[in-house]
Every structure is written in structure tokens, then in C-alpha cells.
Amino acid sequence: MNPKHFHQRPGLILNPEKKSCNALVWAPGAQTVSIVSRFNEKHYLNQSAYGYWEANDLPLVEGDTYEVCLNDDKTFPDPASLSQPRGVHGPSMVTDLASYSWNDDDWNGLDIQKPIIYELHTGTFSKEGTFHGIIDQLPYLRELGINTIELMPATQFPGNRNWGYDGVYPYAVQDSYGGAGELQKLVDQCHQQGLAVILDVVYNHLGPEGNYLSQFGPYFTNKYQTPWGRAVNFDDEWSDAVRHFFIENALMWFGDFHIDGLRLDAAHAIKDFGARHFLAQLKEATNEFNAERGKKHFLMAECDLNDVRYINTPDKGGYNMDAQWCDEFHHSLHVMVTGEERGYYSDFGGIGPLVKSLNHGFVYDGIYSPHRKKTFGSSTDGQFGHKFVVFAQNHDQVGNRMMGDRLGTNISFELQKVVAATYLLSPFTPFLFMGEEFGEKSPFLYFTSHSDKDLIKNVRKGRKNEFKDFMGNLNPPDPQAAETFKKSVLTLREKWDSTQQALFKWYKTLIRFRKEQPFWAENPREYFEAEALNEKILRVAIRHKQDVFFMLMNFGPEKIHLDLEAVEPMLCSATDEWSGPVNHVHDLKKGNILELPGECFIFLKTK
């Protein structure tokens, strides 16, 4: 039987009457553990089983700051701190998550088959750079038509500027964004306006600055290495408590913040060769939570292994994630429109990979990858389309370019519209990155605000080394400079030019069009079939009940004429409604001949 502690949240939790706290700290190697209050009062915890220390009715109340003292020697912030008002090195603060008065009783959650996801970074999405700034922009997001926002990591990181993947307190909401209460308010407002919220969480590593977990116990293991150093300990000695730490974290987001879903960063870097993988255990805990509360919380995994084990059900040996990212759709589309074939893009030349990805999700599904020099991936046969999240841009694919340049700055306006239609009207779950809907020209750069001078130096050196083969006469922007962050803030709507306004209208139309057609609400993979007409033109046939539709994407600059009988154009990216060169969609059809302009998307219905 699991010990009782594995059903309790770690950290300091206020009692219902809010005049005291209960404490649970995991420190298996400690001789003594105590909570030190702001008045320098020391409250010793009682040693329990499995490395836990606990106490009830500690005389701390909301707003009190405290630290955890090990062995009557050094003090540290609480690993399960809910608030770090003085930053990652300062004391933790007792925080009341239960007092927020929710107004989302009518929110029943989002059907997992229907997300249209919009990824945003809290600090650069609005001029305020806070959760409240996002609330002010919710009418804009509703106008766009998306039904889900995905927040890049919002847990406490060093300083005020960071992507969030350097977070070191998984339970604490970033103070400069507004803290826990403001995040609760944001989620509440989203639900009242019909929007679901996904939070990006990082369970594969923690950042280097302010990371004191190893002082408490073996949260990390030397068995495996990740790109960020030692792996989180999910299967070595003492790993039960580490798994408990992160599972309770996920349940906190669901229960206390009403977050609808979690996006699990780099799930392939969660190293676990135990009999029951951590992700499978996390999904079981999520399902149990949903059954108890009658909710629809879900899990999405970012994974670059092309392995359907992540989304397979347990009876097939899977981890039962609700969806996973499909990077290869992005790679195929990116190479198709830019011609870039360096690095991993070399596996995606020509139109063939895009056709295959539209049909199967994965391009490398058990075939040989020349770039990797090995057979790679697994088959997606039998998988539902909504289980694959596809995109033309995301924070990684933009921000990890040396100059943070967005796709729209490297391709034409007309081609941007074709790209949008290709993934928004695909048989998969579509995912937008903030700003692409109006062709943001400002970059999205990599930025930090560390205080550790050696770390700052190493980050700068690492960025230069990463791009040494691409730099030429350029240098990557300094991640630590405030100007780098400022350049990444989205352009205000009142400063858009006419083409940006037209592109936004096009995105709105595509999203509305997707919602209106019934086959996207079912399993569109059953009805979609893509094929290449030549090296630049792709056709997708959609056969749903008695109806037959066609999508044509011309990625080349030359117009062509197609002999198509009994078809009616419904939507065309090249019309003047979207600042294109054609007056009206019906002008393209002359008898049986359809004129397909260069760099154009057309949706057709058979008569």
C-alpha cells in the first residue's frame, strides 16, 4: 500500500480556518528538518516514513515568508513553494490557493477532439507582460476564433525575462506575471468566455539558477543524461517521492487553477525504464481526478521520437497521452515553402514529405532517415487525427533560429496564406504561435535575466557556439539584454499595416470554416487523402458521406490550368477580399477549366 504522504501535496498548505499550516517536506538524508519563519522562529518537523518530514498546525498564515532548514544548518526555499516574491533565491511565501471565488461552474471543459490552440508567451503577448494583459486581449482571441490558449511555462524562473523553461519552482507561479491569484483570474475569465487553457509544464529538467532540489534529496539521477544535465529521477532509488512531487504538481494545476490541460515539455527526455512509466502513472492520476470531479482535464506530450507509444492506450503498452506534437508536419511544410534543407531539414526535401505527413502525421514511421542514419519512427495507422498537434510555427522553431526570424519574414504574403490553410484545414489538431495570424514582423528571440554572472557568460557562449556555422558576419542577440526581450513583444493592433489586417481576416475565416464543416469534428483522417499533382501542387480529397471536397495548394509562383468538371470554388486565398490579385473566387472557373494562381489555396466542392 502506498504511504499516506503519496496522497498529500508537498509544501506548506493552509488549514481551512487559515490560521495555521500543515507541512510536508521530503528530505530522506536529513537529520533534522525545520521551518524557519520570517521572525526567525524555528518549527521542527517530525520524521516519518519514506524520507518525509511533517507537522500540523504550524503558526504561519497567508503572506508569511519562510525557509526550510536542513540539519540545523543551511536554509533554502521550499521545493514546493507556491510563491517566491523575492525571486528564486529568496524565501518562500505562504499562499492561499483555496480562497479564490470561481465563476466557471458552467464550464464543462473542451472536447479533446476540437482544440484550436494558440500558444503565447505571457511576457511578450501584451504590452503589460502579465496575466492581466492577456485578460485584456481575450476579446481579440475570441474574434480570431481559437478555443484554446497555451501558456508557455509560467512557474518561477530567475529574474523577470525568460521563456520559462529555466523554471526552478514547479509549484510557484511567476511573480512578475502576477502570481497565483492572477493566473486563477485569467483561467476563470477564459472559461467564462469559452476558452480552454493549456499550461506548458517542464517535468524533464529544472533550470540551473535557484535550483536547490538536490539539497533535499535525490531528485536527479546519474543514470541518464539529458541536454540539460542529469535526468530527473523517475526510476532510480527514492524515485517514488520524486514521481509523487510531479504528479501532485499536475493535480494542483487541475484542481486549484482549473487548468484544462498540460503540455509536457520534451517528454522524450523523461527517462524512466521502470515497469510503469511516469507518464502512464500521471495519466492514471489525471483520469482518477477527472472521474472524481466530473471534469475533462487532458495531457499533451511534446516528443520528437515519432513513437505512438505516447498516445497508445495501456492495453497496447502505451502511456495514453491525449495528443502529441508532430514536428515532422512542420519540417515538411517549412522546407516546402522556404527551401531550407540544412540539418534535420535535409530529411524533408520536396513535396513528398508534406503529402505523407498530411496522410499519416509522421513522415518517418519506421523507414530509414538519412539525417539520423538509422530507421526511425512508428506507424500511425489506426490513430485519430486529433491526437497529432501540427503547426507552421512555434516558440522553438522561431526562437531557436539565430535571429528569431518568423516564417512570414522569409516567404511572400500570398504564401503565408497557403501555409495557414495547409495546417489549419489539415486532419489534425491545429496550433498557432502568437503573432503569426497577422504576419508579425518582429522576431521572437531567446531571452533571459539571470543574476549568476558565470551562467550569463555560459549562456552567451552557448548561443554563439550553437550558431557558429550560420553566423557569418552576424552575432546572435545577447539573451541577457533587455533590448532582446523588448524586440520580441508583439506589435500593437493599431500599428498593423493593410496586409497584416488582411492576413488576420484570412486566419479568422479559415478557423470559422474549419468549425463549420462537420468532418473536422469527427475523425477527419478517415475522409482525407493527399496527393501531389506535381512538385509544387498538392491536392487533398475529402470524402464525407455523400459530399466530396477538394483542397488545392499551389506552393509555386506559376499559375496553372486544371480540367475539373462539376466543382464549385468555395474559398480562395488569392481573392481581393484577402488582398490577393483575383477579384472573386468564381472568376477562376471558366467552364471545365480552373485557373489556379501561383502561391494560392482553393477549397472546392463537387456539384
The mean pLDDT of 437-457, rounded to a whole number, is 96
265 included as an active-site residue: yes
pLDDT digits (tens, 9 = 90+) for 539-556: 999 999 899 999 999 999
Q: Does one domain contain both 329 and 465?
A: yes
Which one of the listed residues 78, 182, 302, 365 is annotated catalytic?
A: 302
Total count of domains within the chain: 3
With both helix axes pointing from N to C terminus, report the angle between 239-257 and 179-192 in degrees, rounded to the nearest 10: 50
CATH number for the domain spanning 537: value is 2.60.40.1180
543 or 39: which leads in pLDDT? 543
Q: Does one domain contain both 454 and 322?
A: yes
Q: Does one domain contain both 314 and 438?
A: yes
H-type helices in 75-204, by residue range? 122-125, 131-136, 138-144, 179-192
Which one of the listed residues 119, 182, 256, 265 is annotated catalytic?
A: 265
Q: Does one domain contain both 442 and 547?
A: no
Q: Does one domain contain both 533 and 485?
A: no
- In angstroms, rounded to a whole number, what is the distance separating the alpha carbons of residues 271 and 232? 7
- Of the residues 463, 493, 515, the one at which a domain ends: 515
> In the structure, what pLDDT confidence band is assigned to residue 2 with cuts at 50, 70 and 90?
low
> In the structure, what pLDDT confidence band is assigned to residue 1 with cuts at 50, 70 and 90?
very low
pLDDT at residue 470, rounded to an integer: 62
In-domain check, residue 126: no
pLDDT surpasses 70 at 3: no
The mean pLDDT of 133-150, rounded to a whole number, is 98
pLDDT surpasses 70 at 4: no
pLDDT at residue 473, rounded to an integer: 67
CATH number for the domain spanning 257: value is 3.20.20.80
In-domain check, residue 179: no
240 included as an active-site residue: no
Indicate the residue type of 501.
Q
In-domain check, residue 154: no
pLDDT digits (tens, 9 = 90+) for 209-241: 999 999 999 999 999 999 899 999 999 999 999
Closest by CA position to 59, among listed 12, 94, 25, 21: 21
3 state SS of 146: coil
pLDDT at residue 5, rounded to an integer: 66
pLDDT digits (tens, 9 = 90+) for 459-472: 998 888 888 766 66
In-domain check, residue 169: no
Q: Does one domain contain both 534 and 501?
A: no
- Of the residues 45, 70, 93, the one at which a domain ends: 93
pLDDT digits (tens, 9 = 90+) for 547-586: 999 999 999 999 999 988 788 899 999 999 999 999 988 8
pLDDT at residue 462, rounded to an integer: 87
- In angstroms, rounded to a whole number, what is the distance separating the alpha carbons of residues 321 and 180? 27
Q: Does one domain contain both 510 and 532?
A: no
Q: What is the DSSP string of 552-599?
A: EEE-SSS-EEEE--SEEEEEETTBGGGT-SBS-GGGGEETTEEEE-SS
Q: Does one domain contain both 405 and 275?
A: yes
Q: Is beta strand 11-14 parallel, antiparallel or unpaired with respect to 148-151?
A: unpaired
pLDDT digits (tens, 9 = 90+) for 242-292: 999 999 999 999 999 999 999 999 999 999 999 999 999 999 999 999 999
- In angstroms, rounded to a whole number, what is the distance separating the alpha carbons of residues 462 and 495? 35
Q: Does one domain contain both 533 and 452?
A: no
Q: Does one domain contain both 327 and 271?
A: yes
pLDDT > 70: what percent of the chain? 98
C-alpha cell at 138: 481575450
Averaged pLDDT score across all residues of the chain: 95
Q: Does one domain contain both 63 and 201?
A: no
Whether pTM exceeds 0.95: yes
Side-chain-side CA neighbours of residue 604 (13 Å): 24
Range(s) of the domain holding residue 68: 4-93
- Of the residues 454, 486, 515, the one at which a domain ends: 515
The mean pLDDT of 12-16, rounded to a whole number, is 93
In-domain check, residue 347: yes
Dmax (CA) for the chain in angstroms is 88
In-domain check, residue 136: no
Q: How far is CA 123 from CA 86, 153, 403, 437, in A?
A: 18, 11, 19, 19
State the sign of the Cα–Cα–Cα–Cα dihedral 378, 381, 387, 393: positive
pLDDT > 90: what percent of the chain? 89
Residues of each annotated binding site for substrate: 263-268, 327-331, 395-400
pLDDT digits (tens, 9 = 90+) for 487-528: 999 999 999 999 999 999 999 999 999 999 988 988 889 999
Q: Does one domain contain both 476 and 541?
A: no
Query: Which residues lie below 8 Å from residue 104, measured CB to CB, with a gap of 6+?
Result: 187, 188, 191, 192, 258
pLDDT at residue 567, rounded to an integer: 87
Residues of each annotated binding site: 263-268, 327-331, 395-400
In-domain check, residue 421: yes
In-domain check, residue 187: no
CATH number for the domain spanning 53: value is 2.60.40.10
Closest by CA position to 270, among listed 200, 318, 198, 202: 202
